[in-house]
Chains A and B, each alone.
Chain A
Amino acid sequence: MATTPRGGGTAQRPNGASQNKICQFKLVLLGESAVGKSSLVLRFVKGQFHEYQESTIGAAFLTQTLCIDDTAVKFEIWDTAGQERYHSLAPMYYRGAQAAIVVYDIQNQDSFQRAKTWVKELQRQASPNIVIALAGNKADLSNSRVVEYEEAKQYAEENGLLFMETSAKTAMNVNDIFLAIAKKLPKNDGAGNQGSGQGRRLAEVEQNRQTNNCCK
């Protein structure tokens, strides 16, 4: 729902306000347990990495804002738990999400297969305009790689996914994948809203007072 400030309120805003738009998006991370979802987010949000990241219970929530051109993109990130018993929670989070990152471990073929099922589930159940990215994590351990880059790349292209191999440990491609998602997301509320009904343009600064008056 777009809220449009009216009349005098916006006219008195401080002069420093730029032409900025703030867009807010809901993003969900999915993938098998221990593929590095939480580490990926932690790296993106706080720039940290813990060797022994404790396993997530249920889901965790974080936010991070990126700037693209003159738009601030605010991600509300739901980092879901990968354990099988939390699977039933996932729909709660990807329903209404504008973006999803499906993570697998390049050392683990099973996790890649699981990622594929997640992608299928998203395509079937999530909102049709959802931007899905596939992330092959733990790219720093490529010497014990099991899932080939090409194989994943091909799969991603077939399914219209963004694809990157990332490493939370070395921060490789972490920001890039979020940035890529941010770029792909629709920024004007028209397109965004029609699709998901969730893209929110919070404040559009600088509204003409005259026009406001004359529509009455």
Chain B
Amino acid sequence: MNELKAPSLQSLLESDRGSNDSLLAESLQLDIEDLDDDEYSIPALDTLPTLESVLSELEGDSDIASEVQFTSATPTPSVDESSRGGSILRHVILQGISSQISSAADRINAGSATAVAISQMIALGTSHGHILNFDSSQTLRWAHQDQTSQGAVSALAFNEDVTRLLAGFARGLVIMIDTASGDVLRSMTDVITPNTGVLSIKWTGRPALALCSDSGGSVWSLSFTRKLGIRGCASRCLFSGARGEVCAMEPLILEDDGHELQNYSIIALATLSKYLVVTIRPRLRVAKFNVLDGPRDCLPLLAWQMVLIQAADTSRTVDPVLAVARGNQLFFHQIFINNGRIDLLFLRKVHLGYNLLALHWLGSKSIACLDTSEMLHLVDVRSSKEVECVDMANAGLVYSSAQFKGLATGGNVSPALALAGTHACYNSVASKGTQLYILGARSLNVVSVRHWNERISYLVHNHRWAEACELALDGYRAAGDRPRRKQQAHDRIVELFHEYVSSTNRTPEFCLGPIMKCLIEIGELDLLWQELWDRLTSPGLFLQLITEHIENDEIKRINPNIAQALVDYWANLSPARLEDIILKLDWTCLDLHQVLTVAKAKKLYKAQIYLNTHALSDYTISLMEFIPLVESESRDLGNCLLVYISSCLAGRGYPAGEIPPDQVPNVKHDVLRCLTSIHSIRSDENEFHYPYLRALLRFDTRETLNVISLAFQEKEFSGELGMSHRQRIVNILLEIMTSENATWSQIGCLLNFISQQVSAHCLPDDASLVERITDYLVKENIDGESPREHSEREQAWLELISSNHLSHIPLEQQLVLASRAKCYCVREYLLEKLNEYDEILECYLNNPYRHLEVFMYIEQHAANPERKIYLQVLKNFPALMRIDYDRMTKIVVDHFSEKVPEFVRALSNEPKLLYLFLGQLSRYGLALDVAQNEKYLELMCQENPEQVKEFLTSSENYRLENALEIVTKFHLTQCCIYLYEKQGDYQVAFNLSMELLREAPESTAETYAHQIMLLCSRASQVLSEKQREDFWFPLLTLVLSRPDLSSITRSALHLAGQHVDLSKLVQLVLQCGTQSGSFGDIKDLLVGMLSNSRYENLLLETTARILGRDLHNKFAVERKAANRGLWVTVIKCVVCRQRLYNQMDVLVFGACGHSIHQACCSDRISKSSCPRCGAKMASDEPIELAKPKLRIVDIDSRHSDSISSTNNSEMLNVKAPPRQFHC
């Protein structure tokens, strides 16, 4: 409280001027619940306090604790559900504080803001050492000025109960201030490394223990003492900067008393290379550490948060989660106690698209990431997705680079720290609950996360109804099965609805859909029917929307009022849709009179049936009304009725559902009685008996009978009584279906039906009935019988046989009848029964629908001699081949491979089939004999001449002469040429080819010419010089003379050049050239020849030069090696251990310097390596190393040899003792 006075009334007013209701409200959200509110049963606050209430509160006292009750705790399905932008983050500038910063800078030269601390108070430090303290209403409580020129305030921290403020300065001073009065309680100058500045200060969870890190990178614990009333402070180095400079530290503060980590004091530290979790109480110990890499100019960031963690086994714990980040990497770790030790569990790693500047949790579900371009990203932790992004560049964020560079203490910091410190803003960005405070040089910005509720209000305020509804519904859905939360969400939606109603009075249809969706989903249908409906000017949109919801099965009941409107609306627009709606709606909300009238008028039969059965419980009226219409109306009605009858008789509801069980017997009985009633209600005299059944049978006999046969399976038709029911119905059917008023195929259907019933023993045995059926079955020809009906007839017959109802007719007679009636299945069955297998195959072949089955039959029984398959197959072989030649051939290959000649013979009149047969045979790998192969060749010439050549090249199994004969017969010149060449008769082949070429049109001439060239070059290898010329020259003459072959002239000449004398060739070329008058054609050839010769000359020259140089080099190397000196390092021979220089010749090995007497050099000793150490001799010149390099001769002979040794370099004479020679 020095220069600045306690806030005057004027300053209070000033500070209020810029703020508004929401701002104050903002500043009051001091203690924001981090954890899931529902878990902790925190009551919801619906409305924010008003300006008045806050002001009156402020006047009363300065006790901040009393304001804490204004916590904002609303149900927060919050940010995680959606990524709809623009409504989540709210950015506000705290005008009161900002204007105080400005005025402090202007009036008392406080400098710009450098650090901020947020708790229930807000403290600001400035670059000239001032500290300003504000309460939650942005009122300046006190100001403090440092008088000892300690430089800027570099760090600030409030303790847990906001009674003490610790402030660190750039020159190393740490002071403690009483927050209530602003008095300095302790002033500590020597608690950190001397001559360093304070980088950050944090209180731990313990009341008298704080941590302080300095610009030397060390971390100090400050424990405050008060002995005998004298305040003191003991500082202790926890982490020395010498072991790595700590940039960031973050103590874990547990607010929840019950947590198992309560007994520990835990801090997270981060250096430029790693991060550590350290316990300082009960004893100092590093719990875990991990490596942390990142860009060199990015600082590590740490943030703790209590998070509800749901494990895989659905157990839920609330544990602290540490977020660690550097650069663009973000890690999450859970900390917990594992077997009595603190353990760090890696949860997740997130790669961000930007480098981080600051990292703060905003609530337990989201984390705020400020990137180096000062964009603030809100990231949802669970999904790792960015939810919203706000540009904070305008805030003018304060960086504490000066402190990190140690400018106030003379720059005595490490270069790494100074570089990383360019992006330091540990003390200018702070978070509190779901609010993030960003300190600008002259302003304080708050970014807060809107709750679900606030977001809805925000959207409502901006009239973004669709988004608001969507968000509200998201919240409602997210509430899941938690009733309390669901109720809150429900209430909010109702409130939203009323807001909507009151603000869209003039435009009642604006955003109707989303609102309706909301109401329907939360089940507030009454609001829909009343308030929303009553205010509409035109109901069209509403009705359409309602219809969609009905069609999606979201609502079953609607208000009868609206149902009436809906029916009227769709009756005109789309009756089909109306029918759908009626079927989906609960009938009790419909005006039956209206609906049935409309349905009748619009012919909505299904709807009528539905209402008749469900509402009126009358199952017969529909039949009586609609069956007479069956023939005049569309087929749909008939099908619909058949399905209806079928489901009634089966006890099921129509179009869906079940008939109530107690009604089922009655319904079945009524429906059946109605169907079989002799006369309709309004019958006239001309009416036939059984009008209903008759109409249905006439409509679709087969399906009607199907319905009846399905009904016969019900239990009503079993037993004695059921049997008589069946008998009665069958009698009625027979009575209706007489030949006068039904076609034969309809009667056929009926008889098939009856025979099925008879064979299943579902009808009492009745000889006359069977007689009647049999008559029908054996009919030879029935007009207009479809294949399906025919097969049904056969089926019926077979069933009768197997149920022994035809035992009175001998099988042989039936056989005759069956073949007469073309019932081949029956015939086959009978043949099988009589063990007469000879003709079974024919039964298959005669029935075009069973052609493919014949192969299965053959394959199945091929091995069975009784069946005489082979004979039958042979007999019908052409027919079978025609059905499927591939399959048939396969069968032949598999089962009758030795009978191939017979099959071939069987096909002798069918060249096409024979060709296919032989082709398939060879494809299936069956070797054909020579005669067959030639036959095949001949057939191929007829059927498929293109493939002949390919066949000739691939197959060897034919006689050349015969093949030639065949091919010549069919004038396949190409093949002839091939065969002649194969025979070795090149001349004929050549002549033929030339002929072909001469006659060939332009398009193919080139290919032909090419072929002849290849032929010639093949022939040239066996022919004499003269013959070669005879081949080549006519060809070339022809080629050169034809302009259309000019493109291959050159390759022809080249090929020819390999086989004939070049000079003659040139002559020919010149001759032809003059003939054709064009030098251009052969110019290329001549130029090519010239350049070729020039190239070869050059090549020769170069080779000679290279050889010469190689030789020279070799020689130089040799010479150098010979001149090299050697150094003998031993005085004894390594072999005999005698003195070396006892006037004997000495061998010196290469670089190792070991030597032996020449006399000792026996065969056992390899001369290429040292016997002592194995060193290779003079390994750089491996070629010349067969011999030892140096021989030392005795002194007497030295003079005589010296001249020669210098000259020839082979030997060098040295005198003992040895020394090193330099050459």
**Which A residues lie at the B interface, using CB under 8 A?**
1, 3, 5-10, 12-14, 56-61, 63, 76, 78-79, 81, 85-86, 88-89, 92, 200, 202-203, 213, 216
Q: Which residue of B491, B505, B526, B615 contacts A6 across the interface (Cβ within 8 Å)?
A: B491
Segment among B98-106, B228-236, B591-599, B977-985 that sits at the interface with chain A: B591-599
Say whether B501 faces chain A, with CB atoms less than 8 Å apart: yes
Across the interface, which residues of B come within 8 angstroms of A1, CB to CB? Answer: 526
Known: A58-B593, A63-B561, A216-B46. A9 touches B491 (CB 8 A): no
Q: How many residues on the B side are at the interface (Cβ–Cβ under 8 A)?
A: 36
Q: Quote the shortest CB–CB distance from A145 to chain B (angstroms).
A: 30
Q: Which residue of B46, B501, B591, B596 contacts A61 across the interface (Cβ within 8 Å)?
A: B591
Across the interface, which residues of A come within 8 angstroms of B505, CB to CB? Answer: 14
Asked whether, in the complex, the Cβ of A6 is within 8 Å of the Cβ of B47, the reply is no
Asked whether, in the complex, the Cβ of B616 is within 8 Å of the Cβ of A58, the reply is yes
Q: Which residue of A lies closest to B561 (CB)?
A: A63
Across the interface, which residues of B come within 8 angstroms of A88, CB to CB? Answer: 616-617
What are the 6 A-B residue pairs with the smallest beta carbon separation, nearest first?
A9-B498, A58-B592, A60-B593, A61-B591, A61-B560, A12-B502
Asked whether, in the complex, the Cβ of B596 is within 8 Å of the Cβ of A58, the reply is yes
Q: Quote the shortest CB–CB distance from A94 to chain B (angstroms).
A: 12
Q: Which residue of A3, A76, A81, A203 contacts B494 across the interface (Cβ within 8 Å)?
A: A3
Q: Which residue of A85, A89, A216 contacts B47 across the interface (Cβ within 8 Å)?
A: A216
Across the interface, which residues of A come within 8 angstroms of B591, CB to CB? Answer: 59-61
Known: A63-B561, A89-B615. A3 touches B524 (CB 8 A): yes
Q: Quote the shortest CB–CB distance from B508 to chain A (angstroms).
A: 14
Say whether B864 faces chain A, with CB atoms less than 8 Å apart: no
Asked whether, in the complex, the Cβ of A85 is within 8 Å of the Cβ of B616, the reply is yes
Across the interface, which residues of A come within 8 angstroms of B1027, CB to CB? Answer: none
Say whether B412 faces chain A, with CB atoms less than 8 Å apart: no
Known: A12-B502, A58-B611. A76 touches B561 (CB 8 A): yes
Question: Can you list 23 pairs linking A and B with CB atoms under 8 Å apart?
Answer: A1-B526, A5-B494, A6-B498, A7-B46, A7-B47, A8-B495, A8-B499, A9-B497, A9-B498, A9-B499, A9-B501, A9-B502, A10-B502, A14-B505, A58-B611, A61-B564, A61-B591, A63-B561, A85-B616, A89-B616, A202-B526, A203-B531, A216-B47
Across the interface, which residues of A come within 8 angstroms of B561, CB to CB? Answer: 61, 63, 76
The complex places the Cα of A213 from the Cα of B499 at a distance, in Å, of 17
Asked whether, in the complex, the Cβ of A5 is within 8 Å of the Cβ of B498, the reply is yes
The complex places the Cα of A110 from the Cα of B1174 at a distance, in Å, of 139
The complex places the Cα of A56 from the Cα of B615 at a distance, in Å, of 14
Q: Quote the shortest CB–CB distance from B50 to chain A (angstroms).
A: 9
The complex places the Cα of A86 from the Cα of B497 at a distance, in Å, of 41
Known: A13-B502, A216-B45. A57 touches B526 (CB 8 A): no
Q: Quote the shortest CB–CB distance from A204 to chain B (angstroms).
A: 13
Say whether B527 faces chain A, with CB atoms less than 8 Å apart: yes
Across the interface, which residues of A come within 8 angstroms of B495, CB to CB? Answer: 6-9
The complex places the Cα of A57 from the Cα of B593 at a distance, in Å, of 5
Most buried by A among B491, B530, B531: B530
Across the interface, which residues of B come within 8 angstroms of A63, CB to CB? Answer: 561
Q: Which residue of B lies closest to A92 (CB)?
A: B588
Q: How many A-B residue pairs have CB under 8 A?
A: 82
Across the interface, which residues of B come within 8 angstroms of A92, CB to CB? Answer: 588
Across the interface, which residues of B come within 8 angstroms of A78, CB to CB? Answer: 560
Asked whether, in the complex, the Cβ of A61 is within 8 Å of the Cβ of B526, the reply is no
Q: Quote the shortest CB–CB distance from B737 to chain A (angstroms).
A: 34
Across the interface, which residues of A come within 8 angstroms of B588, CB to CB? Answer: 92
Contact with A along B603-631 (1 / 0, CB 8 A): 00000000100011110000000000000
Across the interface, which residues of B come within 8 angstroms of A85, CB to CB? Answer: 616, 618
The complex places the Cα of A216 from the Cα of B49 at a distance, in Å, of 12
Across the interface, which residues of A come within 8 angstroms of B497, CB to CB? Answer: 9
Q: Which residue of B498, B502, B530, B590 contacts A202 across the interface (Cβ within 8 Å)?
A: B530
Say whether B503 faces chain A, with CB atoms less than 8 Å apart: yes
The complex places the Cα of A61 from the Cα of B530 at a distance, in Å, of 17
The complex places the Cα of A56 from the Cα of B564 at a distance, in Å, of 15
The complex places the Cα of A8 from the Cα of B588 at a distance, in Å, of 37
Contact with A along B557-599 (1 / 0, CB 8 A): 0001101100000000000000000000000101111101100
Q: Which residue of A lies closest to B621 (CB)?
A: A85
Across the interface, which residues of A come within 8 angstroms of B531, CB to CB? Answer: 202-203
Across the interface, which residues of B come within 8 angstroms of A9, CB to CB? Answer: 495, 497-499, 501-502
Across the interface, which residues of B come within 8 angstroms of A202, CB to CB? Answer: 526, 530-531
Q: Which residue of B lies closest to A24 (CB)?
A: B530
Task: List 6 other contacts, CB 8 Å, given A6-B495, A60-B591.
Answer: A13-B502, A58-B615, A59-B592, A89-B616, A216-B43, A216-B45
Q: Which residue of A13, A57, A76 contacts B560 across the interface (Cβ within 8 Å)?
A: A76
Across the interface, which residues of A come within 8 angstroms of B46, CB to CB? Answer: 7, 216
Q: Which residue of B lies closest to A55 (CB)?
A: B593
The complex places the Cα of A95 from the Cα of B505 at a distance, in Å, of 36
Across the interface, which residues of A come within 8 angstroms of B524, CB to CB? Answer: 3
Most buried by B among A8, A14, A81, A85: A8
The complex places the Cα of A6 from the Cα of B47 at a distance, in Å, of 12
Q: Which residue of A lies closest to B50 (CB)?
A: A213
Q: Quote the shortest CB–CB distance from B662 to chain A (angstroms).
A: 13
Asked whether, in the complex, the Cβ of B498 is within 8 Å of the Cβ of A56, the reply is no
Across the interface, which residues of B come within 8 angstroms of A57, CB to CB? Answer: 592-593, 596-597
Across the interface, which residues of A come within 8 angstroms of B618, CB to CB? Answer: 85
Q: Quote the shortest CB–CB distance from A65 to chain B (angstroms).
A: 11
Asked whether, in the complex, the Cβ of A12 is within 8 Å of the Cβ of B491, the reply is no
Q: Which residue of B lies closest to A81 (CB)?
A: B593
The complex places the Cα of A81 from the Cα of B505 at a distance, in Å, of 40
Q: Which residue of B lies closest to A200 (CB)?
A: B526
The complex places the Cα of A202 from the Cα of B501 at a distance, in Å, of 15
The complex places the Cα of A58 from the Cα of B613 at a distance, in Å, of 12
Q: Which residue of A lies closest to B491 (CB)?
A: A6
The complex places the Cα of A61 from the Cα of B560 at a distance, in Å, of 7
Please report which residues of chain B, range 899-950, place their CB below 8 angstroms from some CB of chain A when the two chains form the complex: none
Most buried by B among A3, A57, A86, A216: A57
Q: Which residue of B lies closest to A86 (CB)?
A: B616
Asked whether, in the complex, the Cβ of A60 is within 8 Å of the Cβ of B498, the reply is no
The complex places the Cα of A88 from the Cα of B662 at a distance, in Å, of 15
The complex places the Cα of A92 from the Cα of B594 at a distance, in Å, of 17
Across the interface, which residues of B come within 8 angstroms of A58, CB to CB? Answer: 592-593, 596, 611, 615-616
Q: Which residue of B lies closest to A6 (CB)?
A: B495
Q: Quote the shortest CB–CB distance from A27 to chain B (angstroms).
A: 12
Across the interface, which residues of B come within 8 angstroms of A60, CB to CB? Answer: 591-594
Known: A61-B564, A92-B588. A56 touches B593 (CB 8 A): yes
Q: Quote the shortest CB–CB distance from B501 to chain A (angstroms).
A: 7
The complex places the Cα of A183 from the Cα of B47 at a distance, in Å, of 41
Q: Which residue of B lies closest to A79 (CB)?
A: B593
Across the interface, which residues of A come within 8 angstroms of B45, CB to CB? Answer: 216
The complex places the Cα of A3 from the Cα of B491 at a distance, in Å, of 10
The complex places the Cα of A23 from the Cα of B958 at a distance, in Å, of 108
The complex places the Cα of A13 from the Cα of B594 at a distance, in Å, of 37
Across the interface, which residues of A come within 8 angstroms of B47, CB to CB? Answer: 7, 213, 216
The complex places the Cα of A81 from the Cα of B611 at a distance, in Å, of 15
Q: Quote the shortest CB–CB distance from B535 to chain A (angstroms).
A: 11
The complex places the Cα of A203 from the Cα of B499 at a distance, in Å, of 15
Please report which residues of chain B, range 530-569, place their CB below 8 angstroms from some CB of chain A when the two chains form the complex: 530-531, 560-561, 563-564
The complex places the Cα of A28 from the Cα of B616 at a distance, in Å, of 17
Q: Quote the shortest CB–CB distance from B497 to chain A (angstroms).
A: 8
Q: Which residue of A lies closest to B49 (CB)?
A: A213
Q: Quote the shortest CB–CB distance from A188 to chain B (angstroms).
A: 18
The complex places the Cα of A10 from the Cα of B491 at a distance, in Å, of 14
Q: Quote the shortest CB–CB distance from A34 to chain B (angstroms).
A: 15
Across the interface, which residues of A come within 8 angstroms of B503, CB to CB? Answer: 12
Across the interface, which residues of B come within 8 angstroms of A89, CB to CB? Answer: 592, 615-616
Contact with A along B951-984 (1 / 0, CB 8 A): 0000000000000000000000000000000000
Please report which residues of chain B, range 472-525, place their CB below 8 angstroms from some CB of chain A when the two chains form the complex: 491, 494-495, 497-499, 501-503, 505, 524
The complex places the Cα of A89 from the Cα of B593 at a distance, in Å, of 13
The complex places the Cα of A88 from the Cα of B592 at a distance, in Å, of 14
Q: Quote the shortest CB–CB distance from B654 to chain A (angstroms).
A: 18
